[in-house]
Amino acid sequence: MLSTKKPGVIINLGSASGLYPWYADPIYSATKGGVVLFTRSLAPLKRRGIRVNVLCPEFVQTELASKVDPKLINTLGGFLSMGMVVNGAFELIKDESKAGACLWITKRRGMEYWPTPTEERKYLLQPYKSKRSFVYTTGSKIDVPHTFEKIVVHTLSHNFRSATGIVRTELSLPIKPQHALVKVIYAGVNASDVNFSSGRYFGGNNNEVAARLPFDAGFEAVGIVAAVGDSVHVKVGTPVALMTFGSYAEFTMVPAKHLLPVPRPDPEVVAMLTSGLTASIALEKAGQMESEQAILVTAAAGGTGQFAVQLAKLAGNKVVATCGGEKKLHF
């Protein structure tokens, strides 16, 4: 799948003996335990469209299981039916949120995922997270510098690199009333950046647009409130998302009414702003989307298109997606 860049689902066959020791056959128990941890360690492949999960049933009536003490089988509630195992496999295939998941199947308790949230906390097993350069803790305080760097548009052009430059500027203090200073942690990159750098988002003729130069670049970000002016109810240290011009900067001054508090200043939040909101508005407001409809999503490999596909599916619709070439199909 990786070499062909095709998405898919892999179901490994483990065993309940890989979740707890089976003293009658420690080698078997060890190998199945290896299958379980191997599968759980492959959870990050979901980012590349591949979901690997593992089934861990108790005893199914097979030649190997027939050699097990019948008293043990009876204690466990009897043999599992093959139908329960098949249903478990379909559960792992259909639930697109499952990656690196271990589905434990027993006659006594049915299907449940292991480890449980209680076990996760007990053994301090942390879910996979990508490495990030910024570590956020609740109520983080930010040192406010005298100067900071930002990207500005100095020439009107679709060539973003030639149209922009990095400048260092002084921080304007004190903070204006009803405004907040935000330290930008992650900024979003959009195709619309080139329209912005060419001046297409401004009204007026070429001379009037050129008179605006230089102006700040970038228009979506997530960060932390570093300082606030008077009459601002958002507290310093609050993680926020924003959609205002000037997000390609270390710090940006924003009207407080434009700040959207978020749980954490993570990069996933940025993707939900321009792309996510555009898809949501297009489907729910402009398209008046309901359930059990056929939804056509064009340019489905793009940021907005990928959100539109997921939102339409979550609403219970059949989605038909198109994109501009075979290479984009893998998205």
Place of tokens 């998302």: 241
pLDDT for res 321: 93
For the chain, residues with pLDDT lower than 70 are 117-141, 330-331
Q: pLDDT digit string (tens) for 115-173?
A: 876 666 655 544 445 555 555 555 556 788 899 999 999 999 999 999 999 999 999 88
User: Hey, do 8-122 and 147-265 end up sharing a CATH topology, with the first three levels equal?
Assistant: no
Q: pTM, whole model, 2 decimals?
A: 0.58
For residue 240, what pLDDT is reported?
95
pLDDT at residue 126, rounded to an integer: 47
Q: How far is CA 18 from CA 36, 53, 93, 104, 121, in A?
A: 7, 14, 21, 10, 20
- Give the per-residue pLDDT at 120: 65
Closest Cα partner for 91 from 77, 110, 117?
110
For domain 270-330, give the CATH number: 3.40.50.720
**Domains of the chain by residue range:** 8-122, 147-265, 270-330
CATH topology of domain 147-265: Quinone Oxidoreductase; Chain A, domain 1 (3.90.180)
Residues 6+ apart with CB under 8 A from 165: 151, 152, 154
**Structure confidence at residue 128 (pLDDT):** 46
> Of 207, 185, 186, 210, nearest to 197 (Cα)?
210
Q: Which CATH architecture has domain 8-122?
A: 3-Layer(aba) Sandwich (3.40)
Give the pLDDT confidence score for residue 132 in this predicted structure: 52
pLDDT at 207: 87
